[in-house]
Amino acid sequence: MDLLALPKTELHLHLDGSIPLELTWQLMTEYGLNPRPTLEETERLLTMQPEDEASLLAYLDKFSYPLWITQFYENIQAATIAILDRLAGLGVTVAELRYSPIVHTYAGLTVRQAIRAVLSGMNHARAAYGMQVGLIVIAMRQHGPHIAKILARQAIAEGQQFHTRSGVVGFDIAGAERGNPPSLFREAFLLARQGGLGLTVHAGEDEGPRAVWEAVDELGARRIGHGCSALQDTTLIQRLARDRILVECCITSNYQTGAVARGTRHPIFRFLEQGVPVAICVDNATVSRTDIVHESELVAEEVGMEEVARIHREAREFSFINPAGSPPGDHP
């Protein structure tokens, strides 16, 4: 089986962490914002290096530089197109991008414009490749519950049910987990659910299984981003399997952030053994210096190509992109 040709589903890919290096360098140069004199030196600022500390905060620090150029509508649009062009070349047929629009408004864009810039770029992929695409809006934990509610309303206003082409399909929280438990964002997720958005939560990446429990029980998440610490709680694993709550697994990223200790087996394989639905995801293609083909290869090395094909096929069923005749966010 040809892994490159295999139709693949990408459910957890951050836009600002996946902008191709060449495009970031080009835009930085055009604006006179390049922090280093060469692309090679700048690459070290934008990507994880072997000597970088394995921590979530060190990983998140890599996001600061792309923000220099993603404050303008046409740049966000161009970044979206470049990312989806690459995904199409890697055999991705279903792609959900996610980002926090509010951190792209420092130069004067409104939140709505920051969302619409991505949707405009997504429409290119729909037209060029027939790719199914959708946007997940993220509220950053450190911005607090009130900003999250504002973003939930903005996300609903641009929901896929109001668009003939690409729209917002889901809602998420991300950022530093410690000190920002999911339960704080209960009202924002209630709004998002009532507005027809699919719900996913970054949880269990830098906190224990309690964060995953809260994401499921208090926020109503149907998918969990990372969820690595769920392995510490057998009852939780059983719950995820019973209720068919999918875990978006990002292998390379998890080792780089320290969510999974290097040299240990990645949780995706235990999830598979216990019947928990999983998706093979990239997280941040540029920051992690990886792609969906490489991540799929890492899984295939242990479980084989047929199982990887099944994972990608099943992951499509958990996508928040509205299938014909089904209410948004109402599946699987």
Residue 1 CA to residue 91 CA, distance in Å, equals 13
Residue 287 CA to residue 48 CA, distance in Å, equals 6
Tell me which of 10, 158, 177, 205 is the catalytic residue.
Answer: 205
Beta-carbon contacts of residue 73 (< 8 Å; ≥ 6 apart): 109, 113, 114, 116, 117
Residue 319 CA to residue 314 CA, distance in Å, equals 9
297 counts as catalytic: no
The answer to whether 120 touches 305, Cβ cutoff 8 Å, is no
| Torsion, CA 15, CA 18, CA 19, CA 24, rounded to 10 | 120
The answer to whether 91 touches 296, Cβ cutoff 8 Å, is no
Residue 256 CA to residue 310 CA, distance in Å, equals 27
Q: Active-site residues: which are they?
A: 205
